[in-house]
Amino acid sequence: MDKNRCSRMLQVGQVKIEDAFWKGKQKLVREEVIPYQWKALNDQIPDAAPSFCMHNFRAAVRLNNRREEQRENFHPPVYSYRGFERLPEKPGELGDEFYGFVFQDSDFYKWVEAVGYSLIQHPDAELEATADQAIEIVAAAQQPDGYLDTYYILNGQDQIFTNLRDFHELYCLGHLIEGAIAYFQATGKDRLLQVACRYTDYAASKLGEGEGKKRGYPGHEIAEMALLQLYEVTGEPRYLELSRFFINERGRRPYYFDFEHPEDVKPGDDSLRYSYHQAHLPVREQTEAVGHAVRAVYLYSGMAELARVDGDDSLLKACRTLWDSTTGKKMYITGGIGGTHIGEAFSFDYDLPSDTAYAETCASIGLIFFAGRMLQLEADVRYADVMEKALYNGVLSGIALDGKSFFYVNPLSVDPVACHKDERKAHVQPVRQKWFGCACCPPNLARLISSVGRYAYTSTEDTLYIHLYIGSNLKLQTPAGEVTVKVRSNFPYNGKVSIQVGGQGAASGKWTLALRIPGWCKDWKSSGFSVEDARLEKGYLYITREWKPDETLELDFPMEVRLMQANPHVRETEGQLAVTRGPVVYCLEEKDNGSNLHLLALSYDAKTRTEPFSIEGEQFPAILADGWREKQQPDAENGLYCEAAPVEYEPVELKFVPYYTWANRGENEMTVWVHRKTC
C-alpha cells in the first residue's frame, strides 16, 4: 500500500455547511443540546441523574489548592474507592470527593468538542467564554506531573493506571485530546491542547515499551485514534508511538489485563473475558467483530488511521476483514450494530433480533468513524454507503426531532407493552429519555452532528472525493491552485445534486473530482462534463480535467422506494420486508397504522407512492404502500390455537415514516420489518 495515495479527511473548518437538513440539526445541537448538556454537567437539571462531572473537576482543583497551601503538611488522599459508580450518601450533599461513573470526566471533553465544532460553523462569544472558563477549571485540576483524571486524583494517586481495563483513564484521555483539538481548531486557543499534551506525555512516560513502563492499553478504546490526531496536529512522533504501542500490544499474550486482574483468571476457555475488550487476539489476527460494539469500532477506527499513517498493509488487511464482519454479518439495516444488550455487544453472525436489539447510538457513530477512515485508505462506495446509512438512520434516531431527548438503544421493532412488562426488554425504551447517568450518547451525537462536514469529503493532492452529498462550501488546494467547491443538494429526500467549481484566477492544471454513486441508486444521471474525462471505479465517478471557473456539474440520483429483504441467514427477519428510499430506512408507527403492526403485511412488489408529511416540523415524503391487514378472529371463539386456514387479509394503505423520526409523537408501536403476505 502506498500511503501517499491515501486520501485525508478535511478539517471541520474547511467545510461550511449550507444544507437545510444539516443546518437544522446543527441548530438543534447549538440551541438545545449544548446548553442542556452544560447544565447537566453542572447537575442543574432537576429531574435527571446528576453527572457530577464539573463537581469532580472543581473538587480536584480545591485539592490542588490545599496541596499548595499546606505544602509539606499536605497528605494526599489514599486510594479509597473501587466501585464503578459512586453516589453521594445524601443526594445534593457533596463533599470534595469523586461521584458518578469512573468515566465522568469525558462528559466535559465531549461537550467541549461539540462546542468547538459549533463555534466553527456559528461563532458565539458567550458560549466561548463559558467554555474558556470551564477549561481553566480543568487545567487547574491537572496535577503538577501532568496527570489528569479526577477519579484517581480524588481517590488517591497511588493507584493510577492500575485498572486500565475497567476504569477508563485512557478513554478520558482520548476524549480530552479530541475535545482539545476541536477547540483549538475552532478558536486558535491552545490552553486545553496543552493540558492534553501534558497528560499524554505523562501517560507516555508510564505506558509503552521500555524499562519501568507498563505494557498496558485502554480497556475502552478511543485513545488510539485520538493520539494519531494529536500527532498530526502537533507533529510529535511520541504520540504516534504511543498509539502504535496501544494498537500493537492489544491482545498479545500473556494478556496485560491478567496482570491487572489475576483474580479473574480462571482455567478453561477464557476468550470471552478478553473479547469484550477486543483483546482476545493481537489485532492483526482478529477476523470477527466481537465484544462491546462501541469499543470495537473505536479500535477499528484507530487501526485504520494507523494503517494510513504507517502505510501498514497488515493492518489494512485486518481492517477490511473486520469491516466485512461488522457490516456483512452483524449490522442492522439501519446501520445499527450490537445485537445484544449483554455487554452492549456484537452477537454472533446474522443474529440481529429486532425487538431486543441494542444498536447503541454511539456504536453507529463509531461505525461512521470507522467508515470515514476506511475511505481514506481506499475509495470504495461500500464504506460510504454504510456511513450514510448509519448517519441518516441509526445515528439520527438517537435524538428527538426537538433535540431534547435521546435514545441510547435503537430497536427495529417496539411493542411498548413488552418494554414495560418484559424484563428481557428492560434496555429498550419506547420513548426517548431526557438524559442518562451514563451519558455517552447525547454528547456523542452533539459532536458528530456538529462536525458532519468532516465525513462528506476526503482529498489527496489532486483529488477531491465527495462521499456524502451535504450542501456545503469548501476551499482546497489543487494542482490548479486554490479552488472552491459548492455542493448543493436536498439529501436525504431528493437525489438532485449540483456541484459548482470555482477558482481564484485561472485554473492551470488538471485535478480530479471523485463523486460517489450511491449503492442504492441504479439509474443515476449526470451532466456538465464530457465522458472522455470520466471513469467509474468501485462506485466513484472520477472526472479528471481542467476546470473552468464556475462550472457546474449536475447529478441526479433518483430516490425510488425500495422494498428490501435480509440475507436468509438472518433468522429474525425471515419472511419480512423493509422499506427504504434513498439512504433513508422507513418504519411503520402505530400512530399512522393502528395497533398490532405485526398483523400488517406487504407483497414484495407492493405499489408505493410518496406524499409530503411532517412530524414536529421535520418535512419529508411519507411512503404509502398498498398493503394488507390480517383480520383478527375473536379470541373467545378460537382460543390460543386453532386449525390453520388461509390468512384473511383486508387491503389497507400502509404509511411509512423515516425510522429516525419515530417516537416523536408519544409512545407507540413501531416496526422496520413488515411481514410478507402469505399464501
Residue from 630, 652, 665, 667 in contact with a copy of itself (CB under 8 A):
630
Minimum CB–partner distance for residue 421 and a copy of itself (Å): 4
Residue from 5, 82, 535, 569 in contact with a copy of itself (CB under 8 A):
569
Minimum CB–partner distance for residue 277 and a copy of itself (Å): 17
Q: Is 85 a catalytic residue?
A: no
CB of 100 within 8 A of CB of 43?
no
- String marking each residue 525-564 x if it binds a copy of itself according to CB under 8 A: -------------------------------------xxx
Does residue 578 belong to the site contacting a copy of itself (CB under 8 A)?
yes
Enumerate residues 336-375 that contact a copy of itself by CB under 8 A. 340, 342-343, 347-348, 351, 356
Q: Between residues 168 and 292, which has the closer beta carbon with respect to a copy of itself?
A: 292
Residue 94 φ/ψ, nearest 5 degrees: -105, 125
Residue from 603, 610, 618, 667 in contact with a copy of itself (CB under 8 A):
603
Residue from 570, 615, 654, 672 in contact with a copy of itself (CB under 8 A):
570
Instruction: Give Cβ neighbours of residue 15 (< 8 Å, ≥ 6 apart).
Output: 453, 454, 456, 457, 472, 473, 474
Residue from 213, 424, 525, 607 in contact with a copy of itself (CB under 8 A):
424
Enumerate residues 636-655 that contact a copy of itself by CB under 8 A. 638-647
Minimum CB–partner distance for residue 569 and a copy of itself (Å): 7
Instruction: Give Cβ neighbours of residue 135 (< 8 Å, ≥ 6 apart).
Output: 112, 183, 189, 191, 192, 195
d(CA 442, CA 426) in angstroms, rounded, equals 20
Residue from 113, 249, 388, 415 in contact with a copy of itself (CB under 8 A):
415
Q: Between residues 125 and 679, which has the closer beta carbon with respect to a copy of itself?
A: 679
Residue from 417, 509, 607, 666 in contact with a copy of itself (CB under 8 A):
417
What SS3 class is residue 510? strand
Residue type, 176: L
Does residue 668 belong to the site contacting a copy of itself (CB under 8 A)?
no
Residue from 598, 610, 652, 667 in contact with a copy of itself (CB under 8 A):
598
Does residue 418 belong to the site contacting a copy of itself (CB under 8 A)?
yes
Q: Between residues 218 and 583, which has the closer beta carbon with respect to a copy of itself?
A: 583
Q: Is 68 a catalytic residue?
A: no
- HSE, CB side, 13 Å, CA atoms: give it for residue 191: 15
DSSP 299-350: HHHHHHHHHHHHT-HHHHHHHHHHHHHHHHHSB-TTS-B--BTTTTB--STT
Which residue among 178, 288, 344, 572 is the active-site one? Answer: 344
Region of 23-31, 203-211, 391-399, 592-600 interacting with a copy of itself (CB under 8 A): 592-600
Q: Between residues 129 and 272, which has the closer beta carbon with respect to a copy of itself?
A: 272
Which strands, in side-by-side order, build the sheet including 510-516? 8-9, 457-459, 463-466, 510-516, 540-546, 534-537
Minimum CB–partner distance for residue 348 and a copy of itself (Å): 4
Minimum CB–partner distance for residue 298 and a copy of itself (Å): 22
The grid coordinates listed for 285 are 489476527
Neighbours of 210 (CB within 10 A): 10
Q: Between residues 20 and 426, which has the closer beta carbon with respect to a copy of itself?
A: 426
Q: Between residues 327 and 526, which has the closer beta carbon with respect to a copy of itself?
A: 327
Q: Which whole-number Å values give the CA distances from 514 to 144, 350, 358, 390, in the listed order? A: 49, 33, 35, 22
Instruction: Give Cβ neighbours of residue 614 (< 8 Å, ≥ 6 apart).
Output: 620
CB of 55 within 8 A of CB of 43?
yes
Does residue 567 belong to the site contacting a copy of itself (CB under 8 A)?
yes
Instruction: Give Cβ neighbours of residue 159 (< 8 Å, ≥ 6 apart).
Output: 79, 152
- String marking each residue 42-61 x if it binds a copy of itself according to CB under 8 A: --------------------
Instruction: Give Cβ neighbours of residue 144 (< 8 Å, ≥ 6 apart).
Output: none
Size, binding site for a copy of itself by CB under 8 A: 58
Does residue 267 belong to the site contacting a copy of itself (CB under 8 A)?
no
Which residue among 6, 319, 362, 440 is the active-site one? Answer: 440
Q: Between residues 285 and 574, which has the closer beta carbon with respect to a copy of itself?
A: 574
Enumerate residues 310-329 that contact a copy of itself by CB under 8 A. 327-329
| Residue 17 C-alpha from the chain's centroid | 19
CB of 585 within 8 A of CB of 658?
yes
Give me the helix-helix angle, 381-389 and 361-377, nearest 10°: 160
d(CA 453, CA 368) in angstroms, rounded, equals 12
Q: Between residues 41 and 331, which has the closer beta carbon with respect to a copy of itself?
A: 331
Q: Between residues 531 and 642, which has the closer beta carbon with respect to a copy of itself?
A: 642
Residue 79 φ/ψ, nearest 5 degrees: -60, 120
Residue 506 φ/ψ, nearest 5 degrees: -75, 145
Between β-strands 584-589 and 600-602, what pairing exists: parallel, antiparallel or unpaired? unpaired
Region of 47-55, 296-304, 439-447, 634-642 interacting with a copy of itself (CB under 8 A): 634-642
Minimum CB–partner distance for residue 606 and a copy of itself (Å): 9
The grid coordinates listed for 110 are 465531549
Beta bridge partner(s), residue 620: 613
Residue 77 φ/ψ, nearest 5 degrees: -60, 145
Does residue 188 belong to the site contacting a copy of itself (CB under 8 A)?
no
CB of 53 within 8 A of CB of 440?
no
Q: Which residues are catalytic?
A: 344, 440
List residues near a copy of itself by CB under 8 A.
327-329, 331, 333, 340, 342-343, 347-348, 351, 356, 415, 417-418, 421-424, 562-571, 574-575, 577-578, 596, 598-599, 603-605, 630, 632-633, 635, 638-647, 675-679
